[in-house]
Amino acid sequence: MAGGKLSARQKMINLMYLVFIAMIAMTMSKEVLSAFGLMNAKFVRANELAATSNTKMLSGLEMKAEEKPEEFRVASNNAKKISTISDDFFKYIESQKAMILEKGNFEREENGELPSEKMDKGDFLDEYWFTGDRLTKEGEAFMERLNKYKADIKAVLGNDVKYQIAVDNFEGRFNTDEVTNNDGKEQKWLDYHFQGFPAIASYTKLTAMQNDVKATETNMYNLFLGNTLDDAVSLKNYTAIVVPDKNAFFAGEKFTGKVVLGKYANVTPTKLSVGGDNLDLSREGAIDSTGAARIEFTVGSVGEHDVQGQFTFLEDGKELPIDFQGQYVVVPRPNAATISADKMNVVYRGVTNPMTISFAGVPDNKVSASAAGLKPISGSGKYEMRPGSGREVTINVTGTLDDGSRVSDKKTFRIKDLPKPLGAYNGQESGAKLPRNNVEIGRLTADFGDDFDFKLPLNVQSFTFKVPGKPSVNVNGNRLNSAAKNALRAAKRGDIVQFINIKAKAPNNPIKIKTVTAVSIELAN
């Protein structure tokens, strides 16, 4: 509608169109506000009906308590406590609703109804309950009162297993955890539900909360009467299950495990006995978050054993015992360590010997090993052995069991010197046939052969070169010098030239290397 020059008539039409849109928006807003007012009226009527019904049920419980005190006296007393707690909180909410009318200067219509269409602002409630990203003292007081109501109701129900589902449903009905808003951000419960809303919306939400209070009363009274609306569950059809921490235990070790009910009901027992002995449920870790109870006792001899006991719970104010039975297996304590060289059954002097050391039945982090030249490296049970002097080395191994006791073992390994290196010329082993030119420019090498699994490179330092009928020539390095080449030129086709007295060293390793085996090469021309 904007842009360009408009005639006076077009400007008038555009203005009328904008006014029309504004009127529609105002009408929609009034309809929404009126709808909140209608919802509030329905909640008020439902609360009145619930109050009447709850009063009758409370009276019915009192009569049953007089007729059958052993069966209904506790239930009637609990119902009275629920009634008092609920009435107090209901009245508190009513006071907060009155505060909204007072601070917003809202007066009811002549017929007693709320002025819903006028209750479109909620700034005064925002200022009363909120300040920045925090709650005011009044806002905190509201949350404290709500949490007190929840705690008081749950205190009445206690740990009776028959009320467990009712407690869970009650928690869901009055859940005040933080809420994820449309932007994906966490927001406090009171902020999410009340900040920035029209007064009529907040007023109606409080009336709805009063309805939750009345609904809670109704559910609890029905529960006490045995006509539960929340599915209370009896444990008589459940089976107690023994779940050991592990399948086998060492002789004399403490058995540790859990006794749980089928379906893992979140129920706290009042008593627990194993083999006729009562266990202390007040000890640390005796009961976990799922209601499972941990059992501990000293296991018997090696073999299969039964474990029997009794779970006791509170139901309808009476103790309900549930027997349980299970089995466990005791295995002998480990008394021999497993020690093996990763490469061979002996260890070699002058090289790093990788080793794996473990103790059967003991975690690697609870195993330690010691010996001259032995040190741990990264990896489960991994070590390196660099033996020094002598012909043997003994490795001592200690393992710590779960109960803190220690077991130990040892094993002795033979220490061997490095084997004699094998010589090769131009990549050819002794006995090969090479052209004269290849011999002249070739290179002498040494290694320990394929049968030696360790990586230890060698450099040839010197050797003696011998041609038939010619004096021997001493050479430094790994190639023929000029004197050796002159001797080679005098050799005939088919002559055997020899590389003897070969000396080699390992780089960066002071270990003494044995004399390298001699190499004989036949001249092909």
Exposure class string for 456-480: b at 16+ Cβ within 10 A, else e: bebebeebbbbbeebeebebeebeb
Dihedral sign, Cα of residue 435, residue 439, residue 441, residue 445: positive
Looking at per-residue pLDDT, the higher value among 288 and 321 belongs to 321
User: What's residue 423's pLDDT?
Assistant: 93
CB 222 within 8 Å of CB 215: no
User: What's residue 479's pLDDT?
Assistant: 94
- Angle ∠(45,191,151) on CA atoms, nearest 5: 65
Percent of the residues in the chain that have a pLDDT greater than 90, as a whole number:
38
Q: Rounded mean pLDDT of 298-307?
A: 72
Mean pLDDT of all residues in the chain? 83
216-236 tens-digit pLDDT? 999 888 888 876 444 434 455
99-156 tens-digit pLDDT? 999 998 999 988 889 988 888 888 899 999 999 889 999 999 999 999 999 999 999 9
Looking at per-residue pLDDT, the higher value among 369 and 282 belongs to 369
User: What's residue 252's pLDDT?
Assistant: 66
254-275 tens-digit pLDDT? 777 777 665 555 566 778 777 7
Alpha-carbon distance of 78 to 83, in angstroms, equals 9
Q: Which two tokens stand for residue 129?
A: 């309950």
Any residues with CB less than 8 A from the CB of 405 and at least 6 apart, and which?
A: none
> Picking from 158-162, 396-400, 497-501, which range would have the lowest pLDDT averaged per residue?
158-162
- CA 182 to the chain's CA centroid: 29
CB 230 within 8 Å of CB 223: yes
Alpha-carbon distance of 143 to 89, in angstroms, equals 12
Residue 15 has pLDDT above 80, yes or no: no
User: What's residue 1's pLDDT?
Assistant: 47
- Kindly write down the DSSP assignment for every residue of 465-518, as one continuous string: EE-TTS--EEEESSS--HHHHHHHHTPPTT-EEEEEEEEEE-TT--PPPPPBPP
Q: Rounded mean pLDDT of 386-403?
A: 89
Global pTM reads 0.45
Cβ atoms within 10 Å of 448's Cβ, excluding its own: 20
Strands (DSSP E) found in 99-253: 130-131, 134-135, 179-180, 186-187, 240-244, 248-250
Alpha-carbon distance of 486 to 234, in angstroms, equals 107
Q: How confident is the model at residue 13 (pLDDT cuts 50, 70, 90)?
A: low
328-376 tens-digit pLDDT? 667 666 666 767 666 667 889 888 889 888 887 788 888 999 999 999 9
